[in-house]
Amino acid sequence: MLRVPANFLFHHTFIITSQVIFLTFGYAFLGTVLYYGYLSPSDQVANLWKQHPEDLTMVVTLIATVLSVTTTTLFTISIKKALRHRMSDPISLVQLSTGVALAKGSIILRPEYLRLTTLTLLVFGLLRLLTAGWTTLLTPTYFLWPVQMVGSELDITGTAFAALLSAEYQYQGLAIQDNSFEVLDIAGMLSGVSAAGFTFGLPGTFNFNGAKYNVSTHGIVPTIESFSGSDGVPGFNGTRLGFSGGNVTVNVGPIPGEHTRISPPQGFSRNYSMLQQGLTANVSCRAIGSNQSLYNWNTSNTFLYGNAAASNGSIPGLRLWNTTANCGNNSSMTQEYVTMVDASGNENPLGSGFLPSVVCPGPMNADQSYTNFTILSQGFYKYRFLEASVCEVVPLLTTVRAKYSGNLISSEVISSTPFQPENTQLLSFVAGVARFQSVNSQGLVSSAIGDTLYSIYSSTTNTSIDDNLGNQTQIYKELEEYWRGVVEFSATFLRSGFMVVGSFPDNRIPDDLASTVNGTMYISTIGWTRQSATYLLAILPITFTTILTFICALYSILKAKKENCGDRSTFDPSNVLHLIMACAAGNLTLAGFTKQGIIDNEDVMVRLDESKDNGGVEKKLMLAGAGQPNSVASQENDAKMSDADQPDSVTSQESVKKMSMVADQPDVFALQGKFV
């Protein structure tokens, strides 16, 4: 029965097992990442890694290097063992040099032997990629861990809210509570200013109720707790239409993931992308032509009061303005304003400004549905750059993608639909906010709307707005964006009022008034994610190295079993000393170091002959077939040995002289065909 020595079998089994363990570790780690999708350490460890990136890189590189060196060492050992057994059969010297190169992790460059050259290049590259592969696999990276979110908010688009808003109008007597006046006045103006200025490159950030919006609110309220702003509790009359600030109820949370055992970390920061209800408007402003009878704009005034003896700082005179606009359908709207004049009733054309606006809350034609409203305006004195103008405002119900990042809320409109007949009450509120803003923006000597148009124009152009009455295209664009900002704020105010703490019992929005909110939370953390395709490439060098190691070790075991050899003394084919000793013992003589001689030597077939009586101590590297008298190899070897004995050969004389010197030394091997 053929037998393999136990220590030999254990040695090779250990090599295979160790290599498989490393490969299993790599695939187990990769499989875990692919299965769960995202892996991250605890927040304490993640923060430590973030604070010490150099130390993290050093530790990971050190671990990867140890794994790579160990894997390479096991591979080279298996190559050496396999090559030793391969040498027991005839093998050409070029094949032997290829095996030595593989065992030493080097290459041969012989175009004549393309397959052998390619093999060494592939293995060389494979071993060099091991460190890179382990490093890529083990190095944690910064990534965003997505978590799905779902919840609800107030739905202002349906009939249920229309009925609720109508009831609030009746309860409030069609008037907004006094404590919300300042909110609508200041916040509405700031929203318009931010929207108008941003269009022309000015920075635009709008703060309302503790939340910070980029440019404008787009008609949304915060649905994320950490971005919701104020945590105050409003008073009894501080909710709904009387809203003046307070904590807006948030009902949004994460959806449990597929793998509940892996919970997302707190992370370094959290960003959100949510789909919500919004509201915006398409606003189009233009001048009222002299032939447009539809827009009948009339401004009359009456001198009310004059005091020639008025001291500095007091009011010398007042003028009452009656501004009337034809709103179509045989209806008109009138708005009164009061401005300050001198004691003679004259305005200061340079220091005073008057910009009246009248809001027509319904359609201008009888065949139009109640889905839009109109604003008529004109500037006087220092606002004379604004001619008699009409702005058509078409509010739109929108779906908005709101992004919560860095304490700032920014939005973009995904889709929009016009108002429907059931949105009449909502349109009435939006138009009412615009009217409130138009009235309160005008003071005794100036208008907030006029000052906004003037300052934005002056900040974004190189010309004066008074030169030829300015660039009317830009002025109208500013006015359009201003009213859009006001309209969007009106929806945010309305939602905030009905979603503030105390607006509904148990702070829960009824189902018929709720709209679904969904989106994604992105947690910034460090770890591993399956989105990186380089992980799959990183595991390939480790896999191929393990396969080659397994093949070499299995080859050695099968050859040892076939040869039925016992324990053998050490022989390392990659060790130059071992090869020289074996060559000397076998009296191997080859051609000289000429170009042709080297080429001829590469094809010489040799084999390793080991004694079987004394544990393989005697090892000879001989020509294949040496020792067989009738073999061609034996004849060639005899011829070469005969040539080497010629006295005219300088090489032979030097060789004999050197061998004699070695033989004279005590305790030195005698080159007589074997080594002791």
Q: Give residue-wise pLDDT tens across range 439-467.
A: 999 999 999 999 999 998 888 888 778 76
The confidence score (pLDDT) of residue 647 equals 40
544 sits in the region (left: phi over 0; alpha: psi -120 to 50; else beta) called alpha
- Work out the pLDDT band at 492, boundaries 50, 70, 90: very high
Distance of CA 565 to the CA centre of its chain: 61
- Work out the pLDDT band at 348, boundaries 50, 70, 90: confident
Tokens, residue 347: 């305005």
- Work out the pLDDT band at 292, boundaries 50, 70, 90: low
Q: How far is CA 573 from CA 72, 85, 487, 545, 582, in A?
A: 17, 10, 86, 20, 10
The confidence score (pLDDT) of residue 238 equals 82
At 674 the three-state DSSP class reads: coil
The confidence score (pLDDT) of residue 642 equals 41
Rounded CA-CA distance 375/370 in Å is 15
Tokens, residue 58: 């050093």
The confidence score (pLDDT) of residue 631 equals 38
Report which of residues 152 and 651 the model is more confident about.
152
- Residue 616 burial (CB count, 10 A): 18
The helix (H) or strand (E) run that includes residue 321 is: strand 317-328
Check: CB of residue 323 under 8 Å from CB of residue 299: yes
What is the residue whose two structure tokens read 């861990």?
Answer: 145
| Sheet strand arrangement including 331-341 | 297-306, 317-328, 331-341
Tokens, residue 389: 């103008």
Query: Which of 30-39, 277-286, 353-362, 595-604 has the lowest average pLDDT?
Result: 595-604
Tokens, residue 369: 């549905």
Task: For 432-453, give one letter per residue: b (16+ CB within 10 A) or e.
Answer: bbbbbbbbbbbeebbbbbbbbb
The confidence score (pLDDT) of residue 179 equals 62
The confidence score (pLDDT) of residue 633 equals 41
Which of 195, 187, 185 has its CA nearest to residue 216?
195
Check: CB of residue 173 under 8 Å from CB of residue 433: no
Over residues 544-557, mean pLDDT: 92
The confidence score (pLDDT) of residue 635 equals 42
With the C-alpha atoms ordered 625, 629, 631, 633, is the resulting torsion angle positive or negative?
Answer: positive
Tokens, residue 293: 């009878």
Report which of residues 217 and 300 the model is more confident about.
217
At 275 the three-state DSSP class reads: strand
Whether the pLDDT of residue 675 is over 50: the answer is no
Which of 129, 81, 130, 132 has its CA nearest to residue 102?
81
First CA to last CA distance, the chain: 31
What is the residue whose two structure tokens read 């105050």?
Answer: 232
Tokens, residue 49: 């890694």
Query: Which of 64-68, 81-85, 313-317, 506-510 has the lowest average pLDDT?
Result: 313-317
- Residue 284 burial (CB count, 10 A): 12
The confidence score (pLDDT) of residue 565 equals 61
pTM attached to this predicted model: 0.78
Check: CB of residue 674 under 8 Å from CB of residue 585: yes
- What is the DSSP secondary structure assignment for residue 265, as one 8-state letter? P
pLDDT-above-90 percentage for the chain: 45
Over residues 197-205, mean pLDDT: 82
Whether the pLDDT of residue 660 is over 60: the answer is no
- What is the DSSP secondary structure assignment for residue 566, as one 8-state letter? -
Which residues are within 8 A (CB) of 21 and not within 5 positions of it... i.e. 6 or more apart?
Answer: none
Cα dihedral 163, 396, 324, 171 in deg (nearest 10): 20
The confidence score (pLDDT) of residue 467 equals 67
Which residues are within 8 A (CB) of 235 and not within 5 positions of it... i.e. 6 or more apart?
Answer: none
- Work out the pLDDT band at 325, boundaries 50, 70, 90: confident
User: Up-side HSE of residue 499: CA atoms within 13 Å toward CB?
Assistant: 27
At 346 the three-state DSSP class reads: coil
Report which of residues 67 and 589 the model is more confident about.
67
- Work out the pLDDT band at 3, boundaries 50, 70, 90: low
- Work out the pLDDT band at 546, boundaries 50, 70, 90: very high
Query: Which of 9-23, 194-208, 627-641 has the lowest average pLDDT?
Result: 627-641
Over residues 30-38, mean pLDDT: 90
Mean pLDDT score of the chain: 83
The confidence score (pLDDT) of residue 168 equals 87
Whether the pLDDT of residue 122 is over 70: the answer is yes
Query: Which of 90-99, 129-138, 368-377 has the lowest average pLDDT?
Result: 368-377
Over residues 55-82, mean pLDDT: 94
User: Up-side HSE of residue 505: CA atoms within 13 Å toward CB?
Assistant: 2
Q: How far is CA 116 from CA 98, 112, 113, in A?
A: 7, 9, 6
Query: Which of 372-376, 423-427, 565-569, 665-669 has the lowest average pLDDT?
Result: 665-669
